[in-house]
Amino acid sequence: MSIFKRNSFDASQPALLAEQLSAGYPGNRFALSDINLSIGGGERVAVIGPNGAGKSTLFKAIVGTLQFTHGHISIHGVDCYSSHIYVGYVPQQSEIDWKFPASVFDVVMMGRSRHIGWLRRPGKSDRAIVNDILDDLSLGDLASQQIGELSGGQRRRVFIARALAQDARVLLLDEPFAGVDQTAEQEIIDTLDALTNQGITILLSTHHMHNDALRFDKVLILRRTVMAYGPPGEVLTAQNLRDAYGAAAPVLHHGDARLMFSLDHERES
């Protein structure tokens, strides 16, 4: 509990602020370079860009898996080195060992870990919190299932539930719609709507966007750096998309300013 009290966040500050951020891996030290970005509290941002554009890298830098080479990130005004705990992360399907012996309840309880503290076990209140969250996300009946027994949409929601148990204020979802059917996609979107109502800031990377289905406050086009960032109507122009994806970008005009594109062939496995 103490960590959260000590770092109690300032709602007037941007939920996420990245300044001159560069990050990368050995062999690709500048997978991201000079990222400048400010996201307001409760906003919902779609992060799009071609494969290898650095979407996952950006998320990993924000969540703290990847040490960045330059610049800094702050969450609600608190420097990232002390405030990763406000960041929830829903990983790509392929990053998780779905055969791991953990139940839905166990995975969501992991989010409580920092609240519980070192050398201590989950108490009654932690159990109650986890059970409430599971019920809110209609996962209550699945609590004792092993995570590998769930459908794609349910798996994403378990990790969203874990972020809620963690009290995350900023939620990152890496390709949540990859490999899920229409129904599951709608389930995930409904869950995100509920989070937005709680004022949680959402960043979501995706390869395909249906403007009708997904309402985003802002769109970030990423290709090693910020190519364009702003409201969808301003950012999703044919020119911007061609700049990011190349001349062959499958851009479709739809109405006046609306653009839809689908890049399923580029989906990561």
Partner 1 sequence: MDIVSLLSEPLGYAFIQRGMLALILVGGISAVVGCFVVVRGMSFFGDALSHAILPGVALSYTASGGYVASNLFLGGLGAGIVSALVIAWLTRNQELKEDSAIAIVFVTMFALGIAIVSTQASYSADLTHILFGSILGISQSDLLMVAAMGAAVLLVILLLYKELLIVSFDLTLAHSLRFPVERLRILLLLLIAVTIVASLQAVGIALMLALLITPAATARLLVKRLHHMIVIASLIGIVSGVVGFYASYYLDIPSGACIVLTLSAIFGLVIALKSGFTQLRERGGS
Site of interaction with partner 1 (CB under 8 A):
25-26, 60, 63-65, 82, 84-85, 87-89, 91, 95-97, 100-103, 106-107, 109-111, 113-114, 116, 118-119, 121-122, 144-146, 162, 166
Nearest approach, Cβ of residue 87 and partner 1 (Å): 5
Residue 121 or 265: the one with the smaller Cβ distance to partner 1 is: 121
Q: At its nearest, how many Å lie between partner 1 and the CB of residue 5?
A: 15
Both tokens assigned to 70: 């330059």
Measured from the Cβ of residue 161, the count of other Cβ atoms closer than 10 Å reads 25
Q: Distance between CA atoms of 269 and 263, rounded to whole angstroms?
A: 13
CA distances from 208 to 12, 50, 136, 181, 263 (A): 32, 10, 28, 13, 6
Closest separation in Å from C-beta 241 to partner 1: 30
- Which of 157, 160, 176 is CA-nearest to residue 168? 160
Is 122 or 230 the residue whose CB approaches partner 1 more closely? Answer: 122
The angle formed by the CA atoms of residues 80, 84 and 88, to the nearest 5 degrees, is 135
Q: Minimum CB separation from partner 1 for residue 15, in Å?
A: 15
Question: What is the smallest separation between the CB atom of 247 and partner 1, expressed in angstroms?
Answer: 34
Length in residues, the chain: 269
**Minimum distance from residue 171 beta carbon to partner 1 (Å):** 11
Given the complex with partner 1, which of 94 and 183 has the nearer CB atom?
94
CA gap 71, 250 in Å, rounded = 34
Q: Which residue, 113 or 237, has its beta carbon nearer to partner 1?
A: 113
> Shortest distance, CB of residue 38 to partner 1, whole angstroms?
21
Minimum Å gap between C-beta 85 and partner 1 is 6
Cβ proximity to partner 1: between 33 and 145 the closer is 145
Residue closer to partner 1 by CB (options 85, 236) is 85
Q: Output 126 or 185, the one with its CB closest to partner 1.
A: 126
Instruction: Round to whole Å and give the CA distance between 132 and 102.
Output: 19
Nearer to partner 1 (CB atom), residue 101 or residue 255: 101
Phi/psi at 232 (5° precision): -50, -45
Distance CA 160, CA 255 (A): 34
